[in-house]
Structure 1
Amino acid sequence: MDRFGVSWQIVPKRMPDLLASEDPGVVCRVSAAMMQMEKIDIAALEAAAAKEPTHG
């Protein structure tokens, strides 16, 4: 949290592309992976989109 009590983070440029995929399976996997994260891990989201196992 910042000094005003607001929690925020920068969204990677790749994030909108993953969430706007024409493949609903990609969107579902990326969304599910993202919801489990405290901080966005773009490599893990890319792996979820590609159906690759993650290491963490």
Structure 2
Amino acid sequence: MGPGWVSSALTLVRRHIRIVNIAGAAMLIILGLLMVTGVRGRWIYELQNLSGTFLTPI
């Protein structure tokens, strides 16, 4: 079950490798722009505040 699933998933990725590469490059460019503008830092700060107030139900 496991090896067959992995093999089919890799076949799918190999078939669409150009799209995967373009999507990865676009994500890197967007992340770089967010870092340069300082937006990423603000988002991380807000997520830290949000996670600091999170209480587990147990």
- Fold shared by both chains (TM-score > 0.5): no
Tell which structure's C-alpha radius of gyration is larger: 2
TM (norm. structure 2) is 0.28
Q: Relative to total residues, which structure has the larger helix share, 1 or 2?
A: 2
TM (norm. structure 1) is 0.29
